[in-house]
Amino acid sequence: MAQNFHYIPDTIPDFHCHVPLTTLQPSLVVNGVYRAQAPAVQDKFTMAPHHNGMGIALTVAAGAVLNQPLQIINVRTGANTNRLVFANTFFIEPQSQAKLIICDHTLSPDAFMTECTTTIVVQPGAQLELLWMQSEHNRSQHRTEIYIQQAAGSMVTCNVMTLHGAFIENVIDIKLQGQHADCRANGLFLIDGTQKFMTDVSIAHEAGYCRSNQLFKGIVDNEAVGRFHGRVLVAKDAQKTEAFQANNNLLLTKQAKMYTQPQLEIYADDVKCSHGATIGQLDEQALFYLRSRGIALKEARLLQQIGFVQDVLDKIGIAPLRERIAGLVEKRLQGEFSRCTDCELHCC
């Protein structure tokens, strides 16, 4: 059966990023340095080093529709084990449409520390679907900051999927600055062992008639620790705002810990807003029902976990990519990646 993904990049021995579909246009950033590859369609977008050759500056031309998703692969290698700080800037010009996939990987067993800041400006009427895939080894520390500015009538879908990493910290800051802007921010993290994960999401409604929807879920196993802080700010003049926020978490052991703090800060009086958070364990009655139908305990636990994360996976708009990520998540939940705990490749 034909595969709908391929291995990228072929230029780095022993590394295989299985996420790319055959329709993706990949670019490579090694230790923060952009390795230029000529864009397939240069009249629709430009991509160049951001600053001193570090990171990427991407501009999608006004009115352009990118039928093929763009992919940026960030890799850390033993050639530079120092603390690394770099930045990206993405400009999505008016009335354009783009899909962007970013993957983080580590290729040597060094204790990497990485800080990446990405600023995204989405201009009037533009649409962006962003998927950020985090899969580094269990000695890495990575702080990812994503700042998104949305103009009137723009639409952004931001999905952050975290599979691996010793300490992952995500900061997502979104400002809806023009009327009728629409933002959907979603996230999924799977942590075990002694991993630590933190996410901080802030969405500011600065103009009226805007809509935002957040859904973040986590599964915490062993002695791992997760933290979620979500804030929705509705400014005084941001009437007719609709803002919804949810954070749901599963703890698989008594030692696992999860801290969650959803927050609404509303200064307008004509709004529809809600927020909520849950922390729980697997449903024992549902497990009993599945086992009474001849399903083994391990498989019953897996089915519950897959069902728990499914609505986050459904937010991925690219169908072949959604299926691919769902497969990786299932393998992670099955423990098939346990052999990767001390492996530097984490090639998913």
Supply the pLDDT for residue 334. Answer: 83
Q: In which region does residue 174 sit, left (phi positive, over 0), alpha (psi from -120 to 50) or beta (all else)?
A: beta
Supply the pLDDT for residue 293. Answer: 84
Closest among 149, 261, 240, 167 to 203, alpha carbons compared:
149
What percent of the chain is helix, strand and coil (3-state, nearest 5)? 15, 50, 35
Supply the pLDDT for residue 151. Answer: 98
| Six-digit token string for 178 | 């023009």
Supply the pLDDT for residue 157. Answer: 97
Closest among 280, 284, 283, 136 to 217, alpha carbons compared:
280
Closest among 136, 66, 70, 71 to 104, alpha carbons compared:
136
Supply the pLDDT for residue 55. Answer: 93
Supply the pLDDT for residue 298. Answer: 87
Each of the 348 residues of the chain gets a pLDDT tens digit; together they read 344 444 444 445 445 565 555 566 778 899 999 986 554 456 799 998 987 889 999 999 999 999 889 999 999 999 999 999 999 999 999 999 999 999 999 988 999 999 999 999 999 999 999 999 999 998 999 999 999 999 999 999 999 999 989 999 999 999 999 999 999 999 999 999 999 999 999 999 999 999 999 999 999 999 999 999 999 999 999 999 999 999 999 999 999 999 999 999 999 999 999 999 999 998 888 888 888 888 888 888 888 999 999 999 999 988 888 888 888 888 888 875 554 444 444 444
Say if CB 174 and CB 185 are below 8 A apart: yes
Supply the pLDDT for residue 344. Answer: 44
The residue ranges of every structural domain in the chain are 25-340
